[in-house]
């Protein structure tokens, strides 16, 4: 695997520290269990599906904090109730923790466990204040000036 030195970018960029730390974190070996899919289900909706065969709802937890979605699974001791002895155990039932970095304004919605797959629906809801606004262009230097801009600097300071 190739490694990239991001040090030169630190000196010429401002406010991108989080992006650099995310890239460095992803450069480490990422866990492969459990396998998952990420799909775009609509213009502003997404779905994460994790293969969690053998887990039930009580053994799974989903936590959304800041821009991180954390999904944990802890299998209860299942050997106590088994009647036989395993000759081969190919179905993994080990404890896991999977973290996903969410973009701004993306939040987790509903979650469902169906046929061994845990589905977590995500929604991107951009607030009106963050959406782009069209600025009208006036003709010949005539334009509306806000009430605050009409006041003299002395009136604003008072």
Q: What is the pLDDT of residues 20-69, one digit of tens each?
A: 666 666 555 566 788 999 999 988 899 999 999 888 899 999 999 988 99
Residue 109 domain boundaries: 33-135
- Residue 12 lies inside a defined structural domain of this protein: yes
> Phi and psi at residue 120, in whole multiples of 5°?
-120, 120
Do residues 62 and 128 both lie within one domain?
yes
Band of pLDDT at residue 105, cut at 50, 70 and 90: confident
Burial letters for 37-54: b for 16+ Cβ neighbours within 10 Å, e otherwise?
A: eeeeeeeeebbbbbbbee
Do residues 64 and 4 both lie within one domain?
no
The answer to whether residue 115 scores a pLDDT higher than 60 is: yes
Do residues 21 and 43 both lie within one domain?
no
Do residues 63 and 111 both lie within one domain?
yes
- Residue 119 lies inside a defined structural domain of this protein: yes
- Residue 43 lies inside a defined structural domain of this protein: yes
For residues 4 and 20, the answer to whether their CB atoms sit within 8 Å is: no
């Amino acid at each position: 695997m190739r490694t990239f030195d991001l040090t030169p970018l630190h000196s010429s960029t401002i406010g991108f520290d989080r992006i650099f730390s995310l890239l460095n974190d992803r450069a480490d070996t990422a866990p492969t269990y459990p396998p998952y899919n990420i799909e775009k289900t609509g213009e502003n909706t997404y779905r994460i599906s994790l293969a969690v065969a053998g887990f039930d709802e009580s053994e799974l937890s989903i936590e959304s904090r800041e821009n991180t979605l954390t999904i944990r699974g802890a299998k209860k001791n299942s050997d106590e109730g088994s009647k036989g002895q395993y000759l081969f155990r190919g179905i993994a039932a080990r404890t896991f923790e999977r973290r996903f970095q969410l973009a701004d304004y993306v939040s987790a919605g509903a979650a469902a466990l169906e046929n061994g797959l845990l589905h977590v629906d995500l929604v991107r809801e951009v607030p009106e204040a963050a959406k782009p606004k069209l600025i009208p262009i006036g003709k010949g230097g005539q334009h509306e000036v806000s009430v605050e801009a009409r006041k003299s600097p002395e009136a604003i300071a008072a």
